[in-house]
Chains A and B, each alone.
Chain A
Amino acid sequence: MTSRPAAAAPHGTREGVSVLAEDVVRRFGDRVVLDHLRLEIPASEFVVLLGPSGCGKTTLLRLLAGLDQPDGGTVTVPRARAIVFQGARLLPWQRVWQNVTIGLYGHDAKPTALSVLAEVGLSARAGAWPKTLSGGEAQRVALARALVSDPALVLLDEPFAALDAITRLRMHDLVRALRRQHNATMLLVTHDVDEAIALADRIMIMRDGRIGSEHRVELSSQDRTRGLGREELRADLLVEIGVSSGG
């Protein structure tokens, strides 16, 4: 974990398959949370994993992040990866920019951190203590911390769940902008159907410890917020995750 591949390497992995999970099994006691799950994500794709709470989304994400090991099957992910958690998880005793450099080495760590903080619009707060940040600002620092290592894969575990609706919409814009800039593969886990439609190239629905169904989202950014296509997709997704039973 001490060294990251040279700058050229992650770009090399941005072709072909970025994430491959085959036959993955994870049990907690008697409960089978992931049941021979298969997941394949091509490089640079934005995949949203949708499902009700307790369906194993976070378990899968932790396996992909390397924070947990599977009981069966294999997981292949790029070495250069980053994860954004549900809470910002900032070190309260480090200034904002120091929080961003936690996994960064070399003498240009600080300028790099400052430039990423500028990307998320937090240049002015770089020297602040985390306790003075709002919820949205803290989560933007967490995003900056993930992106600063130039990862090939970014895993997002319901990062905006605790934010208010307006802040969440701003964060969606930010994530889209960051994605254009960094061109990383992104996997976002959420239970929010609107968030999934707003961001995804492909939406996967998790059910019974597996990927139940998939939807490719080919809507323009305009059509993602309103229009018939969006409403149809939304209705389908709600049925599939089991919120409404009607067709």
Chain B
Amino acid sequence: MSTSPAGGVTALPAAYRTQRPGAPGPGAAPAATALEVFAPAARRSGWPGRLLAHVRSPLGIYTVPLLIGVLWQIASWQGWIGPEFAASPAQIFAAGVSLWREGLLGPDIAISLTRAGEGFALGLVAGTVAATLAGLWRGGEQAFNGVVQILNTIPLLALLPVMIVWFGIGEESKVLLISIGAGVPIYLNLFAAIRGVDQGLIEMAVAAGASRRRLVRRLLLPGALPGFLVGLRFALAYSVLGLVAAEQVNANSGIGFMINQAQTYDRVDEIYLGLVIYAVLGLTADQVVRIFERVLLTWRPAYTGA
């Protein structure tokens, strides 16, 4: 209408024209309107399209770590990275194989996994129980919040000497240190998630006649689940961190001990092997929680990225 040439526009009453300051005046060239067309998303048919979809990200989130590994290997072959600084991925792999054959790697991994697993389990239970009590009752909040905030601020490494003085250099001090690393993020995230449940929903449930018990079971705990899973992810990562801290200082077994030994004997490949094992542990733990999220949070409309 307004894009028609001069004749059509001048035919309009003057009042109409003055109301539309953006409209082209008489004689102005009609502005081309930018259009956008939406149609069913193009489905990739035939093998070239499917291949392209795979090529773009063939291994999901593992793509970039693997790509770094490949570039690293090429850089080592080309001599851009000296062997005294970093072993090549192939050398790291070879070191792993030979340590495994000697029967040294397997037990070290097992003992480290046990420590991390026990510490994580302890932290998970303690953090979940404390956060639930604190989230639901103000008395619990007053009892736990201060202590957890203190623990959250003190670095794990700084706690280690205290743990050793109290519990000796055995497994207890290591497991306890890891449990603190795991329990604190669980507590903080779950507590915040329980307190963050939508007030409108709570009001609705109370008005509908839900008992306190039902409020907790049907509303507060499921509502806090997304926050809890965030805490779980941090907890898994922090238990690996706690593991490193505990094993670096005093241990005669485990991955950290292996790294220390390698440092003493200047085995760069074995140092890197230890780091790679820690990295794989962290990545695996994260993937496990992602599976939990997918299964437990199907109800949630979530942005999955463009």
Report which A residues bind B (CB closer than 8 A).
1-2, 4, 65-67, 82-83, 85, 87, 89, 91-94, 98, 102-105, 129-131, 145-146, 149
* Interface segment, one of B57-65, B166-174, B202-210: B202-210
Q: Are A131 and B203 in contact (CB under 8 A)?
A: no
A4 to B67 alpha-carbon distance, docked (Å): 64
Measured CB to CB, the closest approach of chain A to B6, in angstroms, equals 39
Q: Are A91 and B201 in contact (CB under 8 A)?
A: yes
Q: Are A85 and B298 in contact (CB under 8 A)?
A: no
Measured CB to CB, the closest approach of chain B to A19, in angstroms, equals 16
Residues of the B chain whose Cβ atoms lie less than 8 Å from the Cβ of A149:
208-209
Q: Are B209 and A1 in contact (CB under 8 A)?
A: yes
Q: Are B300 and A92 in contact (CB under 8 A)?
A: yes
* B interface residues, tally (CB under 8 Å): 21
Binary per-residue interface labels of chain B (177-213) against chain A in the complex, 1 for a CB within 8 Å, 0 otherwise? 0000000000000000000000011011111111100
Q: Is the interface of B mostly helix, strand, loop or mixed?
A: helix
Q: Are B209 and A131 in contact (CB under 8 A)?
A: no
Closest residue of chain B to A149 (Cβ to Cβ) is B209
Measured CB to CB, the closest approach of chain B to A97, in angstroms, equals 13
Residues of the B chain whose Cβ atoms lie less than 8 Å from the Cβ of A98:
218
A83 to B209 alpha-carbon distance, docked (Å): 11
Q: Which 3 A-B pairs give the minimum distances between C-beta atoms?
A: A103-B208, A103-B209, A89-B204
A64 to B203 alpha-carbon distance, docked (Å): 14
Which of B205, B210, B299 interacts with A129 by CB under 8 Å?
B299
Beyond A1-B206, A93-B299, 10 additional pairs, beta carbon < 8 A: A2-B209, A66-B207, A67-B206, A82-B208, A89-B200, A91-B222, A102-B205, A104-B209, A146-B208, A149-B209
B13 in contact (CB, < 8 A): no
Residues of the B chain whose Cβ atoms lie less than 8 Å from the Cβ of A130:
299
A85 to B200 alpha-carbon distance, docked (Å): 9
